[in-house]
Structure 1
């Protein structure tokens, strides 16, 4: 998830369920290129001349306090840099049922060599008694990642060759500062960095805009201002000190991290409350599960029309975009009566599909308990849709509809705890489908429904998709195999994909949905 740049790995630590901000890859300005001395929180270490710098930033989302970041930088006499970071989150999620409180801490340590190249990073996440450890090391021209967590006691090792446009964020920071000092003009670089959690290289555009003074506690700290545009369209503004330690970080007009003198007390009675529901104008069918099509207009106030679209044409919707306004026809993915049901075992030759049969850290389809349940549900049945419907029905009836033990539990945890919200339902469905031989993947976005009068309601949501000759939506929270016309897809949430955190960040507190005409599915 680069201090000013919000690298993907550090971003995941900071933005937690929404978007993840980046403090992890701390970088520096060479001697003579610094805007000035920082009078605050910088001291010479007693460790043989090393310099130690500390920062604390309070985090808020949509104006609600949700946590803080404690970050340190040690500059060693041999030229290596070590950045340690502790991110503490505690928030209450509202909407879709009873309020749910989530708390977590993530500790990470990143190391750069004297040539400003990335060496290694270790990250330990703790939440609700669960510990997940990730490490990343650069070996030659490839990254080597290691993961341990639920159902993964033995480290899971993977290797990722570097693309041609990969750059060390620290080296990029040096280049930008040197160019700015030489030209007096903003400097920009486009490059790829690695996100260990998403297991992919992500492209970013980073611009050093210039210098400015940052005032804190009656002191003036000379600062650099950066602007980053991430691959998913997230725009991040940041101020850093002379060593690129963070002073202020803002993302999407929603997420803010700002310098404080000490970690704030996270009072349970005053925690930030993040509402997962969205305002909806208009009515639709009270029997929303029978929607064949639904016209909607979605306006995201202040969204930059130059950024990638939030929604695109696909099997969930046809979309026309006019700046920050989207006119959409939502579509059902429910197979028609004459749909040809594929038979198990499915023939899956396309490697892009085969990867959705493989186990992952979240969807452990190789867990013996999950394999056993999948076999029991499938029995001797060879009709893939019948097996899929059994899995959806089993998860719908077997999982208590409440907040999970963690913000996003793994499939093995969900099976054991038998409780969870939409993310828990989705990940268990994905694991069971894969164990049964049906390609499946988790997705997320926004879902519509209605009360008994037909008044529309909407909220952020996760569900799953299965491949049965084509992708169809399946939603175990409501027992749908083939979804009705009420889903607005952000994207696929699987390793190797971009994910939807950036799109969600762009919409929080800015989205209005207007309902238009609808049509219902036939009862046949």
Structure 2
């Protein structure tokens, strides 16, 4: 099936920036062809991708079937959009090329993915060898960063599972289901997927009726992807959470003309204090119209909120993460005994806390300060003061790029804070979700957002976009945006175009003292 969830990269970009004006182009739709010289059968498909009814991208998918039974799939995914209200710098384009090779048993042998945006190229590759996934990353600040992951017992390639499901369906005449683990090279973790083949259909494309299979895949985070594929499993139509829809076309739509426009703001009703930075508690009702009540909740109880779910409605009490008056900040250097916290001191491909420039910047900002809360506040304020508040050169730049370019939106502020905190010896991680604020009269406004949080004996939200160390009660957390974590892209995708917030009663810091 389509490496579908390339759209998840788009959801991250919608959070604060937008994804990128790409190449224009035309491509004739080809069903299949065969090379007489090599015996290789080639199947090509072109799909247009729409988000909220707007065409924002294309997927060119090619399958090559060799006489020895091996398969090679190639995809070129292009996205282009303009963020509403983002100014002239809010137009972006990106392309992602991937090549996947499967053996005669349809198991993955290797995969390489090359992402290009602005003048930056990021290459990820995986190879399956001797019971392991060998994963490699090359990009800004990193060259050939290689990691190894042992294959779990239930690891399968999606292609092999598709073949198994078709075989069972043909044998029994009933829908067939498999659950398995696959490797996400971007998240650097194995993720569970349940796929059901519900049956066959005839997919109408113009005057053609293409024999096809109908699949439903449920991701670990609850995202549901419905797909119609031909008998070679190349995509004809894909619907991801009712938000991203890719459909077979004959010619590529024109992209990069500013026609696709995304507004990341969410509708908000009700009133709160006009001094939103003083919110200690805020009650809200969040409605995600049409979200599957059986899917995992979009929000859980944690240090940002208490949640009661009723179908697609969430009654939420938002909390400040600013420590109370009895809080005693630990001294630097911190002693971290919990490995689940300690790992958020390590450099990553996005937050290169081992970059000499990052290390030098952190040392200069913190100086000899040993109070960890004060040191953290110095870092947040420095990033707030030094970063020009605009859409970045890329949809989501690394910390080294942000330090060099000194410009960016919420994702850039968050990743630089994370890298500087880690370089200063403070565990930190990036977070995605929704945040709201208000005007002077208390009317609310909300949008998708990225921020950071730090560990000082407890997790404390920090947001350099608005210079908060200890966030006020305004944040709805989707998830942690770090390697090894499930991430927030699927939850964000489920919510786009469907989410509304109603503000209820609130308390300020002064009122709770």
TM over 0.5: yes
Structure 1 position 402 matched with structure 2 position 390: yes
Give the 5 Å matches for 1:29-428: 41-94=31-84, 100-152=90-142, 154-270=143-259, 272-428=260-416
1:14–1:87 CA contact under 8 A, matched in 2:
no
Structure 1 position 429 matched with structure 2 position 407: no
Q: Residues 48-69 of structure 1, C-alpha deviation per residue, up to 9 Å, x if partnerless?
A: 2110111100011111111101
The alpha-carbon distance between structure 1 residues 491 and 96, as it changes in their structure 2 partners (threshold 3 A), is: farther
Q: TM-score, normalised by structure 2?
A: 0.95
1:12–1:19 CA contact under 8 A, matched in 2:
no
Displacement of 1:98 in angstroms is: 7.0
Structure 2 residue aligned with 1:13: 6
Displacement of 1:16 in angstroms is: 2.4
Equivalent residues, number: 497
Query: Could you say what secondary structure the match of 1:18 adopts?
Result: helix
Structure 2 CA distance, aligned partners of 1:478 and 1:19? Answer: 20
Structure 1 CA distance, aligned partners of 2:99 and 2:204? Answer: 28
1:281–1:514 CA contact under 8 A, matched in 2:
yes
Displacement of 1:13 in angstroms is: 2.7
Structure 1 CA distance, aligned partners of 2:424 and 2:226? Answer: 46
Displacement of 1:393 in angstroms is: 0.3
1:426–1:463 CA contact under 8 A, matched in 2:
yes
2:46–2:249 CA contact under 8 A, matched in 1:
yes
Structure 1 residue aligned with 2:461: 473
Structure 1 CA distance, aligned partners of 2:382 and 2:338? Answer: 29
The alpha-carbon distance between structure 1 residues 200 and 475, as it changes in their structure 2 partners (threshold 3 A), is: same
Displacement of 1:378 in angstroms is: 1.4
Q: TM-score, normalised by structure 1?
A: 0.93
Structure 1 position 456 matched with structure 2 position 444: yes
- Range with bigger deviation, 201-210 or 343-352: 343-352
The alpha-carbon distance between structure 1 residues 341 and 59, as it changes in their structure 2 partners (threshold 3 A), is: same
Where structure 1 has 5 or more consecutive residues not aligned to the other structure, the ranges are: 4-9, 21-38
1:93–1:99 CA contact under 8 A, matched in 2:
no
Query: Could you say what secondary structure the match of 1:449 adopts?
Result: strand
Structure 2 CA distance, aligned partners of 1:350 and 1:46? Answer: 61
Structure 1 CA distance, aligned partners of 2:86 and 2:446? Answer: 9
- Range with bigger deviation, 134-143 or 336-345: 336-345
The alpha-carbon distance between structure 1 residues 440 and 97, as it changes in their structure 2 partners (threshold 3 A), is: farther
Displacement of 1:336 in angstroms is: 1.8
The alpha-carbon distance between structure 1 residues 98 and 510, as it changes in their structure 2 partners (threshold 3 A), is: farther
Q: Residues 398-451 of structure 1, C-alpha deviation per residue, up to 9 Å, x if partnerless?
A: 000000000000000000000000000000000000000000000010001001
2:213–2:231 CA contact under 8 A, matched in 1:
yes
- What is the RMSD computed on CA atoms of the aligned residues? 1.5
The alpha-carbon distance between structure 1 residues 19 and 206, as it changes in their structure 2 partners (threshold 3 A), is: farther
Q: Residues 85-115 of structure 1, C-alpha deviation per residue, up to 9 Å, x if partnerless?
A: 1111111122577771110011110000011
Displacement of 1:180 in angstroms is: 0.2
1:122–1:134 CA contact under 8 A, matched in 2:
yes
Query: Could you say what secondary structure the match of 1:396 adopts?
Result: helix
1:95–1:277 CA contact under 8 A, matched in 2:
no
Structure 1 CA distance, aligned partners of 2:4 and 2:431? Answer: 20
Structure 1 CA distance, aligned partners of 2:498 and 2:300? Answer: 19
The alpha-carbon distance between structure 1 residues 19 and 173, as it changes in their structure 2 partners (threshold 3 A), is: farther
Query: Could you say what secondary structure the match of 2:6 adopts?
Result: helix
Structure 2 CA distance, aligned partners of 1:327 and 1:14? Answer: 29
Runs of 4+ in 1 over 6 A off after TM superposition: 96-99
Displacement of 1:15 in angstroms is: 3.7
Structure 2 CA distance, aligned partners of 1:81 and 1:243? Answer: 10
Query: Could you say what secondary structure the match of 1:226 adopts?
Result: strand
Query: Could you say what secondary structure the match of 2:285 adopts?
Result: strand
Structure 2 CA distance, aligned partners of 1:167 and 1:386? Answer: 48
The alpha-carbon distance between structure 1 residues 195 and 117, as it changes in their structure 2 partners (threshold 3 A), is: same
Structure 1 CA distance, aligned partners of 2:376 and 2:330? Answer: 11
